[in-house]
Amino acid sequence: MKILIFFVFTIFWSFGECSHPHPLDPPTPSELNLVRTIVQKAYPSNITFQYVGLEEPDKSTILSWLSLNSKTKTKTKTKTLPPRQFYVVSRYHKQSLEMIVDLRTRSIIGSKVDEGHGYPMLTLDEQTAASELPFLYGPFRESVKKRGLNLSEVICSDFTVGWYGEGKTNRILKIKCYYTNGTVNLYARPLEGIEAVVDLDQMKIIDYTDRFIVPLPKAEGTEYRESKLKPPFGPNLKGIAMMQPGGPGFKIDGHTVSWANWEFHVGFDIRAGPIISLASIYDLQKQKYRQVLYRGFISELFVPYQDPTLEWYYTTYFDCGEFGFGQSASSLQPLTDCPANAAFLDAYYAGSDGTPVKIANAFCIFERYAGDIMWRHTEIEIPKEVITEVRPDVSLVVRMVSTVGNYDYVIDWEFKPSGSIKLGVGLTGILEVKAGIYTNTDQIKEDIYGTLLADNTIGVYHDHFLTYYLDLDIDGETNSFVKSNLETVIVKDPTIPRKSYWTVISETAKTEADARINLGFKPSELVVVNPNKKTKPGNKIGYRLLPGSVVHPLLVTDDYPQIRAAFTNYNVWVTPYNKSEKWASGLYVDRSRGDDTLAAWSLRDREIENKDIVLWYTMGFHHVPSQEDFPIMPTLSGGFELRPTNFFESNPVLKTKSPKHVYWPNCSSQH
């Protein structure tokens, strides 16, 4: 019997101090501590840190620094770094206080109190504190008792409440609770009818209702931990291994990743999560790196549920702006979340008291090969010869998983040697369910706003809309947005048997209004081009947006959640670059009113032709839950692609050599 033994080498980096600092690096632990010291010196008490993020230098400063250091390639990089500054949003005396903190001068160089609508991102500490209040509240304890439940097996969670036309709002959350007896799948056993309202500034319950009692869903069948599951098991999956005896094919220098013909910077933000910057690709024919993406990230994730009852109507989350995609990042598990050949990176953010919080293994980076084909052709037309040429498709993936309450979002940035960037999203985790009186669909005589998944368990209909910020700089900062519609033409020549064909009618968007697009109504090609540079045949160089499945909002435009999320009214927007315009839902999202969103900015209808522009793309999912999604949901995947279009003179991977085959010792192939 032959026994095969191999070792898995997992590589770890940290978003802490690094040897080659970069002006777009996320905050390090020492920087966060220094920000905390500077702010608390000016405001010695009762101040919380809602958001601490990089106050990124102007784009011209970044590009000048990049150009200088690409020429020098020395260890003098730190001497040319722009000043490190951080943007801080705090709560102080029930007001939202904005500050810019300069680490070089160790001072606050700018501050103001926000006078607008809405409140800053929630901290984990205040969410935890609010969720614990019901356990000391008499009426809640009585509600649990009259249901015959054990208080020690109840867990509560917080929900943002949105805005529904109120003239004045307070900073409040609603609290709902779940029962864990018999299961750790707490979301499967909601205590329907109970609801507490917490004022966050006072940190106390200001309202409480117990409207009705419905049967508690059963714990049976909701377990998902492998160690607790009982036979029979299946399906039986055989072992799979990814071998790289020579080590990874990529390099990480600080936060800059180099792989194949790509180079880019990986950053982290407490609100956005992963940020990819300065992605450029090496052009073999031109013998130089060329710009593609200056900065890209998920700007917002809007999740409106479709139950309009008193207990559910407000359940319309903004997962980035209210809860923080980065703050919600999960520690990735080697060999399961990521393959054996992955490198892992830690990340840090500021907790509510300003101290650094570490997320171990926040990112993984790995080369992916799954038997895909980069390009191939078999030629049999040449007499007495058969030619077959195939190149396997290997790509590089940067992954983060953000667990926002019940849902886990798998975020992938995938770079391909062909020049494409594929952006993927996987939805998994646990459905948001409500308890009901029904055990069979035959009993239902009303709209239950969802799918009956199990006894007394309703999976509520909902949407997921992810809006991406994509500052494409195609071979330079001045770009244009070209809409090329595919239109049917009638053949008028009676001597030709064909009656019709389609052709391409192109239009360059001149202002923001020209670029707003709802996809799916007519076939089109959407390309960001550099109008100042052309290929040898005369085509404008560009990158094309290849959308995923087309999903549009189904709420009416004057519904309050949709007013706040008006940035999802179109799949595509294009705006002129403005460093302050990066959050599609606005700076202050909790209880916002839709007056500081991408939709509001775009009303200015600014010029975008031959300008430094930003492409915004919203992909979505309408989710009608099914029984297969319960008790835990198999990953539902979606995504889109940014693909070079006349960017290269010809196929950039024509001369790519196939990776060397790895032969396992003492093994023979079986045919």
- Interatomic CA distance for residues 405 and 313, integer angstroms: 18
Task: Spell out the long-range contacts of 586-589 with Cβ–Cβ below 8 A and sequence spacing 24 or more.
Answer: 586/118, 586/321, 587/89, 587/114, 587/118, 587/120, 588/96, 588/114, 588/116, 588/117, 588/118, 588/119, 588/120, 588/321, 589/118, 589/121, 589/300, 589/318, 589/320, 589/321, 589/322, 589/564
Q: Name which of 295, 299, 298 is nearest 612 in CA terms.
A: 295
Assigned token pair, 140 = 């809640």
- N-terminal to C-terminal alpha carbon distance within the chain: 19
Q: Look-up: residue for tokens 């194949």? A: 260
Is residue 408 part of the annotated active site? The answer reads no
Q: Are 39 and 101 in contact (CB under 8 A)?
A: yes
Give the CB-side neighbour count of residue 582, counting CA atoms within 13 A.
Answer: 17
Active-site residue (options: 319, 463, 475, 590): 319
Is residue 412 part of the annotated active site? The answer reads no
Element (H, E) at 42: helix 29-42
30 φ/ψ angles, rounded to the nearest 5 degrees: -70, -35
92 φ/ψ angles, rounded to the nearest 5 degrees: -145, 115
197 exposure class (CB count in 10 Å sphere: 0-12, 13-18, 19+): middle
- Interatomic CA distance for residues 330 and 401, integer angstroms: 6
- Interatomic CA distance for residues 137 and 374, integer angstroms: 62
Q: Are 398 and 266 in contact (CB under 8 A)?
A: yes
Q: How many C-beta atoms lie closer than 10 Å to residue 337's C-beta?
A: 18
319 φ/ψ angles, rounded to the nearest 5 degrees: -70, -30
Active-site residue (options: 407, 409, 560, 588): 407
- The set of residues, in sequence order, having a beta carbon less than 8 Å from that of 87 and lying 6+ positions away, is 51, 52, 53, 54, 55, 98, 99, 100
Q: Report CA-CA distances (Å) from 671 to 388, 390, 668.
A: 20, 20, 10
Strand partners, 363: 345
Query: Which residues are catalytically annotated?
Result: 319, 407
